[in-house]
Amino acid sequence: MHERNNMALLFPGQGSHEDGMREKVAAARPDLLEEVIGLVGEDPFERVADGTRFAQPAIYCASLAGWERLGRPKPVAAAGHSLGELAALAAAGAMDHLDGLRLAVRRGNLMQKAAERGGGGMLAVLGSPELAAEVAQAAHVTVANENAPDETILAGPRDALDQARRDVRDRGARAIRLPVKGAFHSPEMEPALDGYREALGEIEFSQPDFPVISCVSARPLLWPRHELASALVLPVRWQDTVLALKRYGIDEWVETGPGTVLTRLVKRNLESPEPAHA
């Protein structure tokens, strides 16, 4: 692992899957590929678009394979978007890589069950955060992701999201329904909490080799058993997370993959003249 004194590593979350992930994992981390097939009971890469149960462990494996292909760099700090926090902690040496995979499998199963029970969805509001917050309050839905100054994700019941979408459009902004079957980072995920806390309690955590910034608090993860569990129902504050990383003196942002979602979000956040929160 070589140290980079101006770099942040970014580990993506669900929705970042792309073609060719399986081949990259097979080449860089065949141990993870063999393990994930056994844990899931089938090859999750063949069904990555079929739900959280398959997507989360597949993306975890692909993210660590991407980090491996980069030469296992040691950054100034790292962050993960939601699920990506597991890969970030594993890369930082805060937990065993196979333990992280077991958590990804358990997390994906629990969240999928909660989503199937709740039946909610998610809506991207492409406008100001103030507009998104007002619409969310009126429609009784949750602000789930603060991704960028012009992108906020809402989560909640599908009929309430339909109302929120109409409200956004009536006010001259855009709103796009996301292709997910669940209201992630909202109270709909509460049924997953006990099982995930139990899984986290079985994992041995240690001091990371570099800080991993929480995407919920925008501060270094210090108590991962508590912080990772509570993150299931709390909003992802990615805008604040990027600004927190910037204060470390970062001028190089490297996404481990798959995809380039976080790279694009970093650019949009750094172009913003206003901080997300004081």
Q: Which residues are catalytic?
A: 82, 185
* Alpha carbon distance 153, 132 (integer Å): 8
| CA distances for 64 relative to 29, 97, 149, 257, angstroms | 8, 8, 29, 9
* Alpha carbon distance 261, 95 (integer Å): 25
* Alpha carbon distance 60, 66 (integer Å): 10
Helices (H), 125-157: 129-139
* Alpha carbon distance 236, 225 (integer Å): 17
Q: What is the length of the chain?
A: 278
Torsion of CA 255, 47, 233, 237, to 10 degrees: 20
* Alpha carbon distance 53, 244 (integer Å): 31
| CA distances for 238 relative to 112, 136, 247, angstroms | 23, 18, 14
